[in-house]
Structure 1
């Protein structure tokens, strides 16, 4: 099940390019990185800005727009790079099952609800975990190592 329009509007594409450029220069929000993943068909590198959630010493990527191209590419590749300025980190990613997502989604909403609320209709950090579990399949989550 999808949860709405997962494709960014023209303005959102512009904003993503702008923020992505700032992050590549090493500025912008501290939690933000430029995610680079190889395309599953082309093998070319694609980049997009993402918020990396650090929760109890483990880092996660959550896709608020649902199953986007970067999600499909990361599923296929199993690894990627996170960049901020000159710092480049290679990582491996494991997609998590729905049962473990509610606590991660709740922490994500607590941190970035203002940025992503339109992708989480009727949800915020106070939403009960059982309701988050019911929607967990809409939001891919990856554990990074």
Structure 2
């Protein structure tokens, strides 16, 4: 296991909240599918896609999550929102470019359960992998 900054979500969020989030937050929550870095199987998690200055981003607000590690290993992914699935490529944003994205993420999603609390506990933008989404060529 790697040494990483990550705040694991509580059991209830992982097993109940993550399954229900796409049903209740359709306008805010999308589904990210990415290949497992060890298994190669498609894994799906709920995410909030940040739209900022004409670009779309995925922010791993809890720190270096498994889905972020998987995207680093295999950047091809699928994002499903409102019943529409896109084939995309995720490109990690350098740490120096993350601060304004983290501010925008907090402004847009800080009212979601746990987001503001986690971002307060992990205030350094370097602790949050951020990926720019691009159409697959």
- In the TM superposition, residue 122 of structure 1 has moved relative to its aligned partner by 6.6
Moved more, 49-58 or 110-119: 110-119
User: Aligned-pair distance for 1:99?
Assistant: 0.7
Q: Take 2:29 and 2:104, find their aligned partners in 1: how far apart are those partners?
A: 16
Q: Is the 8 A contact 1:95 1:140 kept in 2?
A: yes
Confirm or deny that 1:143 pairs with 2:112: no
Residue 10 of structure 1 deviates from its aligned partner by: 1.2
For 1:10, the equivalent position in structure 2 comes to 11
Q: Does 1:107 align with 2:104?
A: yes
Give yes or no for the alignment of 1:81 onto 2:78: yes
Which of 36, 40, 43 is the aligned partner of 2:40? 43
Deviation at 1:38, TM superposition (A): 0.5
Give the 3-state SS of the residue equivalent to 2:120 in structure 1: coil
Q: Extract unaligned runs of 5+ from structure 2.
A: none
What secondary structure sits across from 2:61 in the alignment? coil
Question: 1:61-89: per-residue Cα shift (whole Å, max 9, x none)?
Answer: 00111001101101101110001343110
Residue by residue over 1:73-112, the C-alpha shift from the partner in whole angstroms, topping out at 9 and shown as x without a partner, is: 0110111000134311011011011111011001001111
**Runs of 4+ with >3 A deviation:** none
RMSD: 1.8
**Which protein shows a greater Rg?**
1
2:54 paired with 1:52: no
Q: Please, what TM-score do these two structures have when normalized by structure 2?
A: 0.85
Runs (5+) with no aligned partner, structure 1: 124-131
SS in 1 for 2:48: strand
- The number of residues matched between the two structures is 128
User: In structure 2, what is the equivalent of residue 95 of structure 1?
Assistant: 92
